[in-house]
Amino acid sequence: MKVIFLGSGGSVPTKDRGLPAVLVEYLNELFLFDCGEGTLRQLMIYSAKNGKNKGKNDGKNKQEKINFMNINKIFITHFHADHIGGLIGIINTMNFLGRNKVLEIYGGKGLNNIIKNLPIPKDAMQFVKIYEILGGDVIEGEGYKFVSFKTIHTPESLGFVFEEKEKRKFLKEKAIALGIPEGKLYSNLQRGESINFNGKIINPDSVLSKPIKGRKIVYTGDTTPCENTVKFANDCDVLIHDSTYSDADINKISDHGHSTALQAAETAKQAKAKSLFLIHISQRYADSKILEDEAKKVFENSCVVSDFMSVQISPSPEKRISAS
Amino acid sequence: MKVIFLGSGGSVPTKDRGLPAVLVEYLNELFLFDCGEGTLRQLMIYSAKNGKNKGKNDGKNKQEKINFMNINKIFITHFHADHIGGLIGIINTMNFLGRNKVLEIYGGKGLNNIIKNLPIPKDAMQFVKIYEILGGDVIEGEGYKFVSFKTIHTPESLGFVFEEKEKRKFLKEKAIALGIPEGKLYSNLQRGESINFNGKIINPDSVLSKPIKGRKIVYTGDTTPCENTVKFANDCDVLIHDSTYSDADINKISDHGHSTALQAAETAKQAKAKSLFLIHISQRYADSKILEDEAKKVFENSCVVSDFMSVQISPSPEKRISAS
């Protein structure tokens, strides 16, 4: 599972930072948090740079490029232009390339109206399904769920949690020790079913590990620091938090819809997050080290996002996070 | 006067090509032809690379970066997403930065509806003036005019001519020879007025050069080859023409709304253009040399546009064009 930052800037793009877009690669699916102007091209640039297959070759030297056509769900935190400007391009291009598969787009009240008014041909809208949701809504998927939570930015602004369901590992050595032959019985036990083996009832607990907590990532979108983030980001592996400003500048700024790096770090600490990624960096910080230093004073495992940075999140509870 | 290509791709962006946007820098004004997704960021990247003052220093080491806030007129050739996707970002950012100055946007029938439905706050729309125009319409400016012409792509698609008014040079040596003192009389003659000097009527023709043809550039937008382009691009300095495909591929392509490099070259030749710039390059041509070679067989002064390429057009009739 990988998080790929396609755009890390806020409000106005700069030569170095595109507008907000965070891609999550999970098994064979792609999910997108926000879709700032330029997202599709950022994805193509990332894919061209990183598309080479790294070892999991199928023998045909096939490249596993990231294919934006595999994006199945897009989550929009709110409707400011820097978070939705890329939808026109993504939807039109999917249509241009003949997409039929449903593309689900989730966001707060008003999303339907926003998307229906975009310059997108009617036939493109045949594969787009729009879901207006509220804070606390749950979207269930195959082995995972998304949960939305209300943030403090606009009346409809939302943050999103991606949470994998907990898993139990099949301990083959225990099954072998019990003399169970490979095959259907293994599958039953893996699914958590008891089996009857040689007249003896074998409980799945005998061959399954303790539950392993699923991976959890949280994306706030734009928000001032808020209790909801602390609550919903509790014990997450990756917290991606608005960090528009440095706390040193907060008195100069009349805008109160955003967070500083320090505030993001305090939230990460309170939420007991494992790692913090600072995003939505204002154009005023050509050098963002000041933001990272500020956050690290409160929460050591902080990192300012740059475009095309990615974070690998392993299922192993011991060593989950590795950024590159 | 400079033409700056901010996006040279067609339909789908690639890692190397953004979507159509051609900036014209003329004296203190900026004009934009089309505004594909990512235009604002392309402009910022161009500006960061090329913004250093080259000699015309005002003594304060001020950098003369291209400032997108100086864009006064945007001309939209048609409403396909790849030509308008960047409007949301440009308009919102101008508003974010407190623009009051009018931004004129020109395009065919339907433009008003398209723009009014974009996710742009109402206060931003206070500085946006939308003009729906037809082929043949003329927009007069200070020392120049734009003329639109109907192209063959969509019912409302248009191409645009930028044409500088012809000028006459003031020949100071002739005025000196006639004994006229510098000052008000010079100004009168420069404006084309006769003067009474020492009881003698002096006609401006005595001190003005023959009329020098103004600079002329033409942007077709997307179109199949058409007679209108030949007519309106007649004797232009720069023809920027749709060149989506190679003629070698034309039989494989069901899309007939575009031109090949060869067709663009034939049009340039018929129009007696001075130079041809091929744009709207399909993603299938990662190497666009095939397109340039194809065009050069018919029209030698052809060039495939790449992003951030610029063309300087000097007022001198002898050496007008220099690309970089």
Looking at every residue in chain A, the average pLDDT score rounds to 92
- Looking up tokens 């020392």 gives B143
Mutate to test the interface with A, among B6, B11, B15 (most CBs of A within 10 A): B15
- Complex ipTM value: 0.88
Pick the residue with more confidence: B213 or A51? B213
B137 classed as catalytic:
no
End-to-end CA, chain B: 13
3-state secondary structure at position B48: helix
User: How far apart (Å, rounded) are the C-alpha atoms in residues A277 and A264?
Assistant: 9
pLDDT of the residue at A322 = 86
Tell me if B37 sits within 8 A of B50, measured CB to CB: no
Residues A242, A222 contacting (CB under 8 angstroms) = yes
A203, A285, B43, B44, B47 from B50: Cα distances, Å: 71, 21, 10, 10, 5
Distance CA(A202)–CA(B149), nearest Å, equals 81
**Helix segments in A106-221, DSSP class H:** 111-116, 172-177, 184-190
| Residue in the block written with tokens 């191409």 | B159
What is the layout of strands, in order, in the sheet containing A2-7?
A128-132, A103-107, A71-75, A29-33, A21-26, A2-7, A310-313, A321-323
CB-count burial class (<10 Å; 0-12, 13-18, 19+) for A280? buried
Q: Out of A116-130, A154-168, B50-64, B98-112, which region has the weakest mean confidence (pLDDT)?
A: B50-64
Name the closest residue on chain B to residue A16, using Cα atoms. Answer: B45
Over residues A76-104, the mean pLDDT reads 96
Rounded Cα distance between A87 and A81, Å, is 10
pLDDT of residue A61: 43
Q: What is the pLDDT of residues A133-152, one digit of tens each?
A: 999 999 999 899 999 999 99
Instruction: Give chain B's radius of gyration (CA, Å).
Output: 22
Query: Of B110, B138, B157, B164, which is closest to residue B280 (Cα–Cα)?
Result: B157
Q: What distance in Å separates residue B283's CA from the closest CA in chain A?
A: 11
User: In chain B, what residues touch A38 (CB-CB under 8 Å)?
Assistant: 37-38, 41
Chain A partners within 8 Å of B47 (Cβ): 15
B194-199: average pLDDT: 90
pLDDT digits (tens, 9 = 90+) for B256-306: 799 999 999 999 999 999 999 999 999 999 999 999 999 999 999 999 999
- And the tokens for A164? 């994998």
Crossing angle of helices A39-50 and A87-96, in 10° steps, is 70
Interface touch B119/A118, C-beta < 8 Å: yes
Nearest-neighbour CA in chain B from A184: distance (Å) = 48
Query: What's residue A52's pLDDT?
Result: 59
pLDDT at A4 exceeding the cut of 50? yes
Sketch out chain A's domains with CATH numbers: 2-51+68-167+211-323 (3.60.15.10), 172-206 (no CATH)
The C-alpha atoms of residue A275 and residue A265 are separated, in whole angstroms, by 10
The Cα–Cα gap between B308 and B21 comes to: 10
User: What is d(CA A216, CA B142) in angstroms, rounded to the nearest whole number?
Assistant: 60
**By CB neighbour count within 10 A (0-12 exposed, 13-18 middle, 19+ buried), where does B123 fall?**
exposed
Q: Is B20 helix (H, G, I), strand (E, B) or coil?
A: coil
Q: Is there a contact between B119 and A114 if contact means CB atoms under 8 Å apart?
A: yes
Taking 90 as the threshold, does the pLDDT of residue A46 lie above it?
Answer: yes
Catalytic positions of A, written as ranges: 82
Q: What is the mean pLDDT of residues A290-316?
A: 96
Would you list the DSSP string of B225-264? --HHHHHHTTT-SEEEEE--B-GGGGGG----SS-BHHHH
* Cross-chain Cβ contact B41/A37 below 8 Å: yes
Q: How does residue A62 score in pLDDT terms, banded at 50, 70 and 90? A: very low
**Chain A residues whose beta carbon lies within 8 Å of the beta carbon of residue B95:** none
pLDDT, position A50: 82
Strand partners, A99: none
Q: What percent of chain A has pLDDT over 70?
A: 96
Tell me if A89 and B120 make a contact (CB, 8 A cut-off).
no
Partner-chain contact A44 B14, CB within 8 Å: yes
